[in-house]
Structure 1
């Protein structure tokens, strides 16, 4: 027995199959350059893992902090991590010694017409008797060729993949929350613009009615100014419904019942402001930061280890087994020295003919390993494309906002001029109404452009893969 154990210890480091090595990534030296004519520029610095704080909105930061503790998707992902760790422990148990205890009592009768008739029983031996037995059984698969160790390696990689999948969910949930919040603030700003335009329309209605009373304005102008106010007000119910939907969307991300956050979020607030500079890091760091890339690497690691399991299946399995206990026909003598019984020795399981099962399994595992390597390359490439597209979209969103602001300022000047000319009796009310409609549209465009700029920045942060680090992980072990 000692010789077998010594041999197992000597061969314990023999692990067949391919060893996993981290894939090399030939990353570009830097991301694309940022346009020089934008206010918020990207810079080569460490990506902020709490990027939502850069919007300088305490309410948004508070919502994100609650998200990490309350989101149901993250809680479900934590359970998947626990399940993967359980699978890892099960795989690891296959390489450890097993010890079982057993106690048994049997009442037996031997048939004299059965196999007992082939032997001569001892004189006076009864055909019926009691049998008492206690036994300790031990077994240990030596895993000389690393089949169990490769299985444990694969299970650990699967656990890492589950952890990274949760990181990806955290990043996605944070980005979804931030974008939903920005859209909510956009609609609240648009509602404020509507109310301001309604106030202007009311003032204009009062002016037209005075002019009508003085015989200067016509019934057509009275009808036109009334219709303008009604047309502006008819958009309010749609805005209210959209805001309620977004408030509930945020509540769902925080696992809250409908309307729970209404009192907290219905109060109008300014739109989040983008920071003057956005650190984006280097392309080489992206693969080490983005959860989907890290998950793809863990999947490749698991597939490589499973190939090792398939290779080890071609080699013999050697186990040590034994048992020790007591056996007696009488309970009183069960633990006497003469009642001892034991067995010990090695066993070997050598695959000789499996009908192609082992070769087929190996081909499948090798193909899965190659597929995982291809998927890893695609995930890395997709990450670079995501960042480049997000950089372009963020710069163009800033250009759109600048154009919207310029248009709004021009329309405001046109409205002031048209209003003054109408008061002076130089132009018609239709010119004023047309100018005010232009102001309303352009102010809406500014609010939408401001929101789009924030949304595109969030897309950039999502592509950069930072932010999941701020969400607490389940207890690791």
Structure 2
């Protein structure tokens, strides 16, 4: 460490300043050369190529769509705009639309995923900083008194060194040249992790939207069941009064009266359960929207019909599912990150070159710290070559390779699971529609049967057991119809979720591929 012991001779500060300028110029040249070397450097390891999802192009069932000549009751697939991103609008229910449009901003799971995305972006910034030079400033003051019983004792008993004050300030810089793409692969992996977090957030939003729609449909189904039970209770009470009147006239027995009363209580016992289901569904929707229990009661307590589902839905091109489903795109991004990490592991086998520089002012007194003679500097490269690491580098490379294989398998499973989800949802949607149509006809027949049995019973030509059975059959068929109607709409929600819809407007991305209206399985 040099120090300024006396005033510099005339002209020395200018000479020192000139030397500093020359040093700075050389460091700039070295930095420019390093930038050229870094730009020209290669990136070792495999380059990522998006995998083929191996999805069909014409039909989710792995075969061309049937033509009208093959099946008279099937429509051919016709060109159609891409499926509406706001799929909940297909139900034409303004309350459901209002709830769905509030999910992205209110749902806590979406907010948590957004926070994780911000964390991922911050981590990417930390990784990217390694590609830039590191510059640190420093300042130091130190006062030292040397022990007379230490090294000074070797100079004799009269040796004396007064306390010394040292003033120092300056900066140091270092820059590792990315000759083999070590840092670039790290940044590539970090970018892929950010992309993964983005699509995971979108996947959370898709799930939250679907859950909102399912809970809303369940709420309307519970209200419908409650209305059916209330209406049936009124009808059963009328029959009970009729039976009592006939019993008073001696036209029937007390057994019929008791059976009629039992039917009334049976129906009345169902009402509390349906009322409880209504409250539970209101609370479930409130939770999704970050509201307190019962906060949405004024908005949702008014009974409404179950949102009807259209018989057909625009599905889009099956091969485009890999671009629409956010979980598939997240799995692809994870595979990208795993591939880039292999390049990071390979680069560890190559030499690393780092440019180091240090520029300081050092003096024994503060008034001489800013003179030319106080200047000192150091600059030069450092080369590091791994020679023996005990197998660490090889093991790390093997680990990254296996992780890439795992990510590839996970991507394949995600795509296959998405394909299964869509096919299962299509089958469930089509079969439940057919079941609902049959139940609708059953309700009409049961209502007619109950009316006829009551007329016959009132006229004294029919027995009460027939009336009671007809009433029970009608109640059961009405309840099953309500359940089936809700199931059709819920299955459509599941289909849209399987297609990955709902995040496009809230979180914009690349335009979707051309879509077509696919026929539901019959």
Question: Of the candidates 179, 190, 195, which is equivalent to residue 160 of structure 1?
Answer: 195
Deviations 1:35-80 (A, max 9, x none): 9798999876422211100001000000011111100000011000
Q: Is the 8 A contact 1:68 1:471 kept in 2?
A: yes
Q: Which residue of 1 aligns with 2:60?
A: 31
Question: Of the candidates 422, 432, 435, which is equivalent to residue 387 of structure 1?
Answer: 422
Q: Is the 8 A contact 2:103 2:288 kept in 1?
A: yes
Q: Following the alignment from structure 1 to structure 2, what is the Cα–Cα distance between the partners of residues 454 and 37?
A: 26
Q: Which residue of 2 aligns with 1:356?
A: 391
Q: Which residue of 1 aligns with 2:452?
A: 417
Q: Is the 8 A contact 1:135 1:324 kept in 2?
A: yes
Aligned CA distance change for structure 1 residues 37 and 49 (closer, same or farther; 3 Å): farther
Q: Following the alignment from structure 2 to structure 1, what is the Cα–Cα distance between the partners of residues 78 and 492?
A: 13
Question: Of the candidates 106, 112, 116, which is equivalent to residue 70 of structure 1?
Answer: 106
Q: Which residue of 1 aligns with 2:464?
A: 429
Q: Is the 8 A contact 1:100 1:136 kept in 2?
A: yes
Aligned CA distance change for structure 1 residues 433 and 59 (closer, same or farther; 3 Å): same
Aligned-pair distance for 1:442?
0.4
Aligned CA distance change for structure 1 residues 43 and 115 (closer, same or farther; 3 Å): farther
Q: Following the alignment from structure 1 to structure 2, what is the Cα–Cα distance between the partners of residues 249 and 107?
A: 69
**Can you give the 5+ residue segments of structure 2 that lack an aligned partner in the other structure?**
1-26, 510-522
Q: Which residue of 2 aligns with 1:134?
A: 169
- TM-score if structure 2 supplies the norm length? 0.86
Q: Is the 8 A contact 1:38 1:395 kept in 2?
A: no
Q: Secondary structure at the match of 2:53?
A: coil
Of 266-275 and 33-42, more deviation after overlay is shown by 33-42
Aligned runs of 1:322-361 on 2, under 5 Å?
322-361=357-396
Q: Which residue of 2 aligns with 1:190?
A: 225
Q: Secondary structure at the match of 1:470?
A: coil
Q: Is the 8 A contact 1:53 1:61 kept in 2?
A: yes
Aligned-pair distance for 1:208?
1.9
Q: Is the 8 A contact 2:359 2:376 kept in 1?
A: yes
Aligned-pair distance for 1:21?
1.1
Aligned CA distance change for structure 1 residues 119 and 303 (closer, same or farther; 3 Å): farther
Q: Which residue of 2 aligns with 1:83?
A: 119
Q: Which residue of 2 aligns with 1:9?
A: 36
Deviations 1:294-352 (A, max 9, x none): 00000000001111100011111111111112100011111011111111111111111
Aligned CA distance change for structure 1 residues 326 and 11 (closer, same or farther; 3 Å): closer
Q: Which residue of 2 aligns with 1:50?
A: 86
Aligned-pair distance for 1:7?
5.0
For this pair of structures, how many residues does the alignment match? 472
Q: Which residue of 1 aligns with 2:5?
A: none
Q: Following the alignment from structure 1 to structure 2, what is the Cα–Cα distance between the partners of residues 228 and 39?
A: 45
Q: Which residue of 1 aligns with 2:24?
A: none
CA RMSD of aligned residues (A): 2.4
Q: Is the 8 A contact 1:201 1:228 kept in 2?
A: yes
Q: Secondary structure at the match of 1:322?
A: strand
Q: Which residue of 2 aligns with 1:171?
A: 206
Q: Is the 8 A contact 2:104 2:110 kept in 1?
A: yes
Q: Which residue of 2 aligns with 1:96?
A: 132
Q: Which residue of 1 aligns with 2:50?
A: 22
Aligned CA distance change for structure 1 residues 168 and 391 (closer, same or farther; 3 Å): same
Q: Which residue of 2 aligns with 1:223?
A: 258
- TM-score if structure 1 supplies the norm length? 0.94
Q: Following the alignment from structure 2 to structure 1, what is the Cα–Cα distance between the partners of residues 73 and 138?
A: 78
Of 278-287 and 223-232, more deviation after overlay is shown by 223-232
Deviations 1:94-116 (A, max 9, x none): 11111111110000123466456
Q: Following the alignment from structure 2 to structure 1, what is the Cα–Cα distance between the partners of residues 414 and 30?
A: 50
Question: Of the candidates 234, 244, 250, which is equivalent to residue 209 of structure 1?
Answer: 244
Q: Which residue of 2 aligns with 1:406?
A: 441
Aligned CA distance change for structure 1 residues 119 and 5 (closer, same or farther; 3 Å): farther
Q: Is the 8 A contact 2:34 2:177 kept in 1?
A: no
Q: Following the alignment from structure 2 to structure 1, what is the Cα–Cα distance between the partners of residues 251 and 76?
A: 55
Q: Is the 8 A contact 1:415 1:436 kept in 2?
A: yes
